[in-house]
Structure 1
Amino acid sequence: MAESQPSRLQHFPVSWFAMVMGLSGLTIALHRAETVFNLAIQPSLAALVFAITVFLALAGLYLLKAVRYPQQVKGEFNHPVKLNFAPTMSIGLILISIALLPHSKSLSLAVWTLGVALHLVFTLYVLATWIHHTHFEINHMNPAWFIPIVGNILVPIAGVQHGFTELSWFFFSIGLVFWLVLLAIIFNRMFFHNPLPGKLLPTLFILIAPPAVGFLSWMQLTGELDAFGRILYYSALFLTLMLFTQAPRFLKLPFALSWWAYSFPMAAITIATLGMYQLLGSPFFKWLGAALLVVLVVLIIGLLVRTAVAISRREICVEE
């Protein structure tokens, strides 16, 4: 692809890394299900290998793009929408480190350290860009803006198990505070300004991720299901229900890479729901988690197939 179609490499978007988030989330959800349902088979291991392979392939292609087309990469890092997908690279690493925990704690630590350090750099860069910008407008705002800053809320899930409790609190605090700030701005944008363009409508599912992931991190940090943990989980569950009721609207959208925005939030609420079962032992959460897992698996398979079709038809990696 890089050699025979250099123009396609030139337009290779950083948003590809959202695919790694979805695949890593699926891996973690499958492993949680294996524990909850005492499964004899381990599909999570195959999913982990696939997620790592995809990440390495995408990282190689994007690095090649940075070498050959540095101006295009610079343009993405200054774009009001595309900029927010750049940290999917570091978040992908953090998620892979979580998925690696059951298999190799030392390898998980190495990947976690790299992902966390890179994400801190992204966080500081994005905040500086937001503060000193000269061209951002309220209509540029969409739920993808959660990704750079609120991604910090993921850090404690593996961080606590690696012994970095205070560092985990540091990142959790960043993610939680900016989640609330950005949530207010995003709802203001959606309620009182023009609707999101169709290509960005799938990013509405990103609304589910911060409270769902926040619940998982809160459980790692506190070790108990308290009132705040319940607020995080049930707000994520309500947002999932709200978006499910709008399924006909989403199904009418033409395919774009932004469809991968459906994947990780669905994985997050699935993992959180199975976690609620482990904490409370209620059959409701067990079977709700199972149902969400089925939806997640079907969704990921559908996204993989549709992405492969789009690649074969040259519908992506083209100039917008």
Structure 2
Amino acid sequence: MINGLQRIAYFPASFFGMIMGVTGLSIAFLQLSKTAPIFTNVAIGNVIIAAVLMVVLLGVYLYKTIRFFPEVKAEMKHPVKMNFIPAISISLLLLSVAFYALDLVQISQRLWIIGAVMQISLTYWVLHNWVHHDFFTPEHSSPAWFIPIVGNIVVPIAGVHHAPMELNWFFFSIGLVFWLVVKSVVINRIIFHAPMQARLIPTLFIFIAPPAVGFISYLALNDNQLNQFAMVLYFFGIAMTLLMLVSLHKFAKLDFALSWWAYTFPVAAMVIASYIMAAHSGQIGFQYIAYFLHTLLMLLIVYLAYKTGQAVKNKQICVDH
């Protein structure tokens, strides 16, 4: 039998998808509190929860790195699991956004620097593996491939306050152009190759994230000026959200896995984008879209937290696959 400390050897980087979802919910509440100040304390409470979870998970993963480094190396070389490691840097970048919104600028800046350096390092590590590999097959590709590359689009959201604009455009350009490239690869794989493993199917929700986050980031880079390209990004995010919603019956048949947390951040990104779209367009319809998705996101996170707790209790997490 594997004891508690030994189980940490199988602690997956995909756990950080939880931080992305909870932090996304925090930022959504921060957006909502601009028009409904009653939710300010809820937003602050969510940021605290996200920060505490981040400290705990980072501590566990650091212990894994020190104590079980061969397992970390194996994860970094795994054609699927490797894509979840940059969820760590994206979580730091999202926390930077949340802390900046709370006027904790120094904390935000430090988190942004660490997150941005880690993000670009992991980006080139993934690109190196893609270019100089001897093990990838079409079946290895999945929407999780968006995480390490398209995560660069997150950088400018807080980065416009902490770094030169040219550097922020550099990150945005990497994420946007590779979004189009990776999307083509993944769609080809989904349509013309063997079906994805059941536990990876929830990652289809990640299709929502690049256009939604791209919309938020693009506005930040353009002094919050709503233009046609921003609208293209927003409405494509809406289109992908509708595609996922009409496919819910497919997702409902799946057994729980940590990959279910992949549902949360894309929905959170669409919530935030809708609040911002409502504010810039003056159209109340976008506010209702945000309310609906925000409610769905809260219910989803509560449910996933319960399912994760049950899985931990039943020792179904941190097992060798």
Give me the TM-score of the superposition, normalised by structure 2.
0.97
Q: Deviations over 1:19-62 (max 9, x none)?
A: 11111111101110111334354211111111111111111111
* Paired residues for 1:32-181 under 5 Å: 32-39=31-38, 41-103=40-102, 104-181=104-181
User: Would the aligned equivalents of 1:87 and 1:147 in 2 still touch at CA under 8 Å?
Assistant: yes
How high is the sequence identity, in percent, across the aligned residues? 43
1:79 partner amino acid? H
Counterpart of 1:287 in structure 2 is 288
Q: Deviations over 1:102-133 (max 9, x none)?
A: 22011101110110011111011111011111
User: Would the aligned equivalents of 2:23 and 2:47 in 1 still touch at CA under 8 Å?
Assistant: yes
CA drift of 1:17 comes to 0.9
User: Would the aligned equivalents of 2:29 and 2:39 in 1 still touch at CA under 8 Å?
Assistant: no
User: Would the aligned equivalents of 1:138 and 1:189 in 2 still touch at CA under 8 Å?
Assistant: yes
CA drift of 1:192 comes to 0.8
Q: Deviations over 1:66-113 (max 9, x none)?
A: 111111000000000000000001000000000001220111011101
Residues 1:118 and 1:163: Cα distance change in structure 2 (over 3 Å): closer
Counterpart of 2:4 in structure 1 is 5
Q: Which runs of 5+ in 1 are unaligned?
A: none
Runs of 4+ in 1 over 3 A off after TM superposition: none
C-alpha RMSD over aligned residues? 1.2
CA drift of 1:164 comes to 2.7
* Paired residues for 1:195-274 under 5 Å: 195-222=195-222, 223-274=224-275
2:211 partner amino acid? P
Question: Aligned partners of 1:110 and 1:30: how far apart in 2?
Answer: 23
CA drift of 1:300 comes to 0.7
- Length, aligned pairs only: 318
SS in 1 for 2:78: coil
1:56 partner amino acid? V
User: Would the aligned equivalents of 2:30 and 2:40 in 1 still touch at CA under 8 Å?
Assistant: no
User: Would the aligned equivalents of 1:36 and 1:278 in 2 still touch at CA under 8 Å?
Assistant: no
User: Would the aligned equivalents of 2:32 and 2:39 in 1 still touch at CA under 8 Å?
Assistant: no
Question: Aligned partners of 1:213 and 1:51: how far apart in 2?
Answer: 19
2:13 partner amino acid? V
Q: Which runs of 5+ in 2 are unaligned?
A: none
1:185 aligns with 2:191: no
Question: Aligned partners of 2:193 and 2:127: how far apart in 1?
Answer: 23
Question: Aligned partners of 1:26 and 1:110: how far apart in 2?
Answer: 22
SS in 2 for 1:155: helix
Residues 1:163 and 1:11: Cα distance change in structure 2 (over 3 Å): closer
Question: Aligned partners of 1:312 and 1:25: how far apart in 2?
Answer: 26
User: Would the aligned equivalents of 2:157 and 2:216 in 1 still touch at CA under 8 Å?
Assistant: yes
Residues 1:55 and 1:40: Cα distance change in structure 2 (over 3 Å): closer
SS in 1 for 2:26: helix
Give me the TM-score of the superposition, normalised by structure 1.
0.97
